[in-house]
Homo-oligomer: A and B are copies of this chain.
Amino acid sequence: MLTSKEWDIVTRTTLFASLGPEDLEKLFDKSPVLALRRNQQLFSEGDPANLLFLVLDGQVKLSRLAPEGAEAVVHVFGPGETFAEAAMFMGGRYPVTATAVTAARLVGVSNERLKALVLVKPEIAFAMLASMARHLKVLVAQIEQMKLLTTRQRAIRFLLDHCGRTGGAATFALPHDKALIANRLGMKAETFSRALASLSDYGVAVVGGKVSIEDVNRLVLLLDD
């Protein structure tokens, strides 16, 4: 089911990088490969959780949904990233909803097999713990941002986090819809739009999802207000 390029992704994923070919073979044998279309739901809050997922292509968001249709995006995962590891230790139910942001391909990994593998090869428990520790750190950073920074500062930090440089000029593409980015940052799309607009005075231009920053250092200074 997996192409050879996709196998490359699997073997490079931090969660599985420590495993030998034979273990990988066992783990992924007959594993379901899913093709999701944009906006298709993978699982909902409260669904029984038997699989964790590795993104092969596209993007998947995890979110909590409020009754009236409002949603709180918790994280967005891209190729090579795994999610829902935690569910297998939380009473076997997913605590969030997973939805494809773009068309996406994923492979599901059996919780049971992974647990069995941990008992045989404890080293991979470290990989799982490291993976979850990473997620924890991301969430902590998110909480910190929302509590301490203004919408403008959050927008700036988002740009800084994604420009891939620490100084000089930079150009890059936004990873997804502005509405989704806004939600990740804990603000409304309109507010995010205005925040970006307010940065045009400081050498930031955003057109059609492409960002160009004249001088990254100037943005860093703006963070202090």
Contact = CB atoms under 8 A, between A and B. Distances in A.
Interface string A53-64: 000000000001
Interface in A173-209: 183, 186
A133 B86 contact: yes
A93 to B, nearest CB: 11
Q: Is the interface of A mostly helix, strand, loop or mixed?
A: helix
Given A142-B143, A144-B72, A186-B146, A132 B136 contact: yes
B129 A122 contact: no
A19 to B, nearest CB: 15
Interface residues of A, number: 39
Contacts of A139: 136, 139-140, 143
B72 A137 contact: no
Interface string A115-155: 10011101101101110111111011011101110000000
Given A119-B123, A129-B125, A132-B129, A140 B89 contact: no
Contacts of A126: 89, 115, 118
A119 B118 contact: no
A90 B133 contact: yes
B64 A140 contact: yes
A160 interface: no
Contact of A72 (B64, B86, B143): B143
Contacts of A70: 148
7 contacts: A64-B144, A66-B148, A86-B137, A90-B133, A95-B137, A128-B129, A143-B146
